[in-house]
Amino acid sequence: MGLRKEFDEAVRAVGAIDWNKASSSHCSLFETNIRYLGGLLSAYDLSGQEILLIKAVELGDMLFAGFDTRNHLPANSYNFKKAKAGELTASSRQSLAVLGSMSMEFTRLSQLTGDPKYYTVVEQLKRGLEKTQDQTNLPGLWPKYIDLIEGTRPTSDTLFTLGAQADSAYEYLSKTYLLLGGLDPSYETMHIKAMDAAVKHLLFRPMLPSGDDDAFDAGSPLPDILFSGNAVSTHRDKSDLQPRVQHLGCFAGGMFALGGKLFDRPDHVQIGEQLARGCAWAYEAFSTGIMPELSELVPCERTEKDGDRLEQCPWNETKYRLNKKKAAASLTTHFTSEKTDINGDRKKPLPLPKPFAKISDPRYMLRPEAIESLFILYRITGKKDLLDMAWRMFSAITKATETKFAFSAIEYVHTANPGQPTQKMDSMESFWLAETLKYFYLIFSPEDGEISLDEWVFNTEAHPFRRPRVEVDVRG
């Protein structure tokens, strides 16, 4: 990007970091790993600046101490004083994402240093997940939370999802396989089991209005789209779908497509494309051109005859209204483009685009997951219309979020008029720069010149790690 001077200045600043001088008493092991350690390792892989690897080792050793617990499972709430005294304890109940999202960073650190200790601790976690994968209520999937005190054995938690608190654990199965050069086939087995179970229990096709409905152009074919929801399971291999769509879950399209390409599952590549197009469609369903943080759709019913097929279904206005009424009854806040009108009176809730039944959280937090999946799908399929989707997405986001000095999260993606100003939140998360803008930049860049997926694999914060040539790039 021609920012070498700025990069060199940043490297000097990183080299001066003293990890002993913290502004807080604790940190999240999970977040520090994927953001800070991942960023340092990626910057080293991209530049070869030795100081970046030195700082990565310093931080890696600090995070490694997070496994110094009674059962050597990680303490996500990492208290610095307790860590120095060897007094950390693993939380009794931890999210799946924490448990399954350290494999890439610790594996790459072992590859670059030749020290196997980092890989050893994540290998222990992988074996625990592998052992329990078929023991849950939904074999192939793990519940959203896992009991770390009792080990990686799933608890009585009954909620399953590819969204928040679980997402990157699934994402890292195929990506760690890539990082290891395919030398550990258990990651392939775990990925395939998880994705097949997700198709069965978590994915759904939305019930869409017919082509002559005012929500679509007359006579236009229905879009071929899927979404990922949640499932509640209290009995073995039985689940109830919750068609709740998280913007966070939009990464699943890229995950399915990448794993499908890697493991010769063209059906998974197709599912990945349907999921990615689903989120792109959800963006365009709202007046700002951006999908909300959390929403709920009316799904097509799946029958035993359908099996694992996710078939389209005819529009049913009565069903839509009933689902919408039921969803509204469970919603404590009704969102409008503004809370009051010019007279100070509360405005009525805005009508929702069909088939959305509820918006649980109408914000846009500058998240990257939708463009992330479009980027991966474009690199895998080369379909040019994905670029058009990405450009419309970028144009809508910049229009709705740009401020005088930066870009801001917005309160509402659902406004009365497409052209009206959005309500800014005066907040810009770090992933806007680290992920969202990076994926937009890369999807419009020549593949042969910018981070080929044949040579690089991205961690969950969009930090690219170089895929090692086993005999050349791995020290030992």
Tell me the pLDDT tens digit for each residue of 364-391.
999 999 999 999 999 999 999 999 999 9
Structure confidence at residue 349 (pLDDT): 74
Structure confidence at residue 218 (pLDDT): 52
Residue listed under structure tokens 């917005």: 410
Task: Give percent helix, percent strand, percent coil of the chain, each to the nearest 5.
Answer: 45, 10, 45
pLDDT for 50 beyond 60: yes
Region 36-48: mean pLDDT is: 97
pLDDT for 476 beyond 70: no
Q: What is the pLDDT of residues 343-369, one digit of tens each?
A: 444 556 788 999 999 999 999 999 999
Q: What is the pLDDT of residues 159-185, one digit of tens each?
A: 999 999 999 999 999 999 999 999 999
Which H or E run includes 95? strand 94-95
Please say whether the beta carbons of 258 and 252 come within 8 A: no
Structure confidence at residue 281 (pLDDT): 98
* Residue 387 identity: L
Q: Which of 99-108, 393-402, 457-466, 467-476 has the lowest mean pLDDT?
A: 467-476
Please say whether the beta carbons of 99 and 148 come within 8 A: yes
More confident residue, 201 or 351: 201
pLDDT for 121 beyond 80: yes
Rounded to whole angstroms, the Cα distance separating 370 from 321 reads 28
Rounded to whole angstroms, the Cα distance separating 467 from 108 reads 9
Which DSSP letter does residue 123 get? H
Average pLDDT, the chain: 91
pLDDT for 475 beyond 50: no
Tell me the three state secondary structure of residue 379: helix
Q: What is the pLDDT of residues 428-454, one digit of tens each?
A: 999 999 999 999 999 999 876 789 999
Q: Cis peptide before 368, with omega less than 30 degrees from 0? A: no
Q: What is the dihedral of CA 215, 217, 222, 226, to 10 degrees?
A: -50
pTM greater than the 0.85 cutoff? yes
Structure confidence at residue 169 (pLDDT): 98
Q: How confident is the model at residue 337 (pLDDT cuts 50, 70, 90)?
A: very low
Q: What is the pLDDT of residues 53-86, one digit of tens each?
A: 999 999 999 999 999 998 888 999 999 999 999 9
